[in-house]
Amino acid sequence: MFYLKYIFTLILSFTFHIIFSQHNFELYNNGALLHLASGSDMYVLGDIHMTGSATTRLENFGFIEVEGNVYGNTLFQQRGTGTFRLFNRLVNIGQAQTIYGANSYAVRGGQASIGVDDGSFYNLELANDIGTVYLSGGGNVCDVRNAVNFQPTGTPTLNRIITAEPPPTALPTNGSLYPSIFGIMNTSTTLTTVMPNNTITSNGNMSNIDAGYVQGKLRRSINAAGGNYHFVVGLEPAGTTAQRGVQLIRADFAANNYDVVSTYFETGSDNTIPGTPIECSGYTIDYFGGVDHGEWVFNQSGGNGGVYSMNVWPQDHNFPSKIIWIITKDNAISGTVDQCGPSPIALVRGGFNGFSEFGVAGADIVLPIELLNFNVYPVNNDFIQLQWITASEKNTAHFGIERSLDGINFIGIDTENASGNSNIQQTYSYNDFNVQENTLYYYRLKSVDLDGTFSYSDIRTAQINSRNNEPSIVIYPNPIINNQLQIDLYNYTGDVMIKLYDILGKLIVQNKIQTEKTKTSYNMPPINLSKGIYLLSIENNLQTKTYKIINK
């Protein structure tokens, strides 16, 4: 047993020397100053105890490896810029390790606490052979001032620091019930700086993360200048259809005064939005992922201002199929309007201020009518005609016809009365004569009910060609409908090569056609295209034109 009595002060300055304690003989410091100089190593095969009075201090400027548990209390002081490793390579093999009673405080910028007496580590390495380290002691805070390195020399494929009591106590299934907090006080925004060996798999399958994460509660010190901060949190590992494992979330800060921000993941947290929320060009939000997936809960310590965006990578889960997804905040739609995505994985939304709960929600387009089709066409190079057919209508008042030049900012140009209530097909049309040559127009329908509620159709595009016999091209519908795409070429002569590429440049379709002087129409052969963006190339002996095509 290596015992440092509090009645004297012992200063140890080891340069290229190694101190071994025997197995089951633990290191106790009950009032002494233990100093490890730069370049020195200390190995403890059992537990290390730093308890006693306020004079109990560890100054670590070298390297300490502990193969047992680490004990401290609120009086224990620690400082220095050395590395502290938990690693059971010789004894206690196959057992988890625990940090008990850590005490620390956070300051703005984190780095200001280097060399100041507190209970935090500078560099902490977690290399337990089964990949599990507990932070225990009932409500403790364990801070790392510079970096935490998961699995620097170990072999587990999944490493965790668990901010709760070790077994046999059952681990909480919700982050709010984890009593302790693990903190990273380095304000660096680079994940490889604060977690040097922590490679994140941000594709949604987070169960097989190949380094480490915090199971429970994690906090980070935020730079006042802003930056992108990952919070690698979650719950116990489980199957790919469970709400467990890593639930990666990233906050991208502008200039702010948040100081320290903490988070955890909470399952069964209802994020239902009251009423019938409409978002992203008229989609009715009808799925809320809080109850069957969960939410990220954030708190802040000090400061209360600054704009940021959120990016989420939920654990694999059998989410329902939805057309659009959004991030919700406090059971409401807030942040940047109409900022949506096609999947809950890598979903982003900006314009937030202040911290609370964040979840995901999804929607399918819900119209007050059953719309069979909606198409727009140029007619005789003179006007653009809109045609739509409804299979049924219920309390439909009218259709608003809206037009845009950029596909984002729409204005109403006219209305058409609806049938109101119908169980048979109804056909409608509208001619837009107020159009310019060689200008691409975007159209959508606004279906309005008798009670004033409304929804939008998909967007369609069309244009008329030059009336002075110059070559021009019309492509419709775009986005593609039912894998059908028509290309009209005006005033082209000779051979024209038509090619369709995916977004990575892979050739999908290639056809050579013979054009006529006035108009030649070409229908792309039916192809089962995946959803996404494609590039259409139209070439003759004079020029090549490329167009972006969308398949929804």
CA–CA gap between residue 207 and residue 160 (Å, rounded):
12
Residue 248 lies in a domain: yes
Same structural domain, 455 and 504:
no
Same structural domain, 213 and 301:
yes
DSSP H or E segment with residue 192 = helix 191-194
Residue 79 lies in a domain: no
Using alpha carbons only, give the angle 251, 241, 249 rounded to the nearest 5 degrees.
5
Same structural domain, 113 and 203:
yes
Residue 218 lies in a domain: yes
DSSP H or E segment with residue 191 = helix 191-194
Structural domain containing residue 247: 94-258+297-317
Domain with residue 497: its CATH number is 2.60.40.3080
Q: What pLDDT sits at residue 355?
A: 87
**Per-residue exposure over 168-196, b if at least 16 CB sit within 10 Å of its own CB, e if not:** eeebbebbeebbbbbbbbbbbbebeebbb
Domain with residue 446: its CATH number is 2.60.40.10
pLDDT, tens only, 252-277: 999 998 888 999 999 888 999 988 78
Same structural domain, 206 and 117:
yes
Return the structure tokens found at 115. 């060399």
For the entire predicted model, the pTM comes to 0.64
Same structural domain, 210 and 247:
yes
Return the structure tokens found at 250. 């990233």
CA–CA gap between residue 231 and residue 505 (Å, rounded):
35
Do 496 and 473 contact (CB within 8 A), yes or no?
no
Q: What pLDDT sits at residue 281?
A: 64
Q: Which of 106, 119, 104 is nearest to 57 (CA)?
A: 119
Backbone angles phi, psi at 266, to 5 degrees: -120, 120
CA–CA gap between residue 134 and residue 543 (Å, rounded):
67
Could you give the number of structural domains in the chain? 3
CA–CA gap between residue 388 and residue 312 (Å, rounded):
38
Same structural domain, 131 and 217:
yes
Return the structure tokens found at 318. 């059998």
Same structural domain, 381 and 497:
no
CA–CA gap between residue 158 and residue 417 (Å, rounded):
61
The rounded radius of gyration (Å) of the Cα atoms in the chain is 31
DSSP-derived letter for residue 331 is S
CA–CA gap between residue 481 and residue 524 (Å, rounded):
12
Among candidate residues 428, 462, 496, the one where a domain is terminated: 462
Do 30 and 60 contact (CB within 8 A), yes or no?
no
Q: What pLDDT sits at residue 149?
A: 87
Residue 276 lies in a domain: no
At 390, the amino acid letter reads T
Backbone angles phi, psi at 199, to 5 degrees: -85, 125
CA 148 to chain centre: 22
Same structural domain, 229 and 303:
yes
Using alpha carbons only, give the angle 82, 301, 202 rounded to the nearest 5 degrees.
70
Among candidate residues 412, 432, 462, the one where a domain is terminated: 462
Residue 29 lies in a domain: no
Same structural domain, 396 and 490:
no
Residue 529 lies in a domain: yes
Residue 377 lies in a domain: yes
CA–CA gap between residue 181 and residue 162 (Å, rounded):
9
Dihedral angle of Cα 65, 69, 74, 79, to the nearest 10 degrees = 10
Same structural domain, 244 and 391:
no
CA–CA gap between residue 393 and residue 282 (Å, rounded):
18
Residue 145 lies in a domain: yes
Return the structure tokens found at 157. 């494929």
Indicate the pairing of strand 246-253 with strand 227-234. antiparallel
CA–CA gap between residue 26 and residue 70 (Å, rounded):
10
Which sign, positive or negative, has the C-alpha torsion 382, 383, 387, 393? Answer: negative
CA–CA gap between residue 80 and residue 13 (Å, rounded):
13
Same structural domain, 455 and 494:
no
Return the structure tokens found at 240. 């790919």
Same structural domain, 155 and 193:
yes
CA–CA gap between residue 267 and residue 436 (Å, rounded):
54
pLDDT under 50 in the chain at which residues?
1-23, 104-115, 205-210
> Which residue's entry shows tokens 């890598």?
346
pLDDT, tens only, 500-526: 988 778 898 899 988 877 778 888 887
Burial bucket for residue 371 (CB in 10 Å: 0-12, 13-18, 19+):
buried
Burial bucket for residue 217 (CB in 10 Å: 0-12, 13-18, 19+):
buried
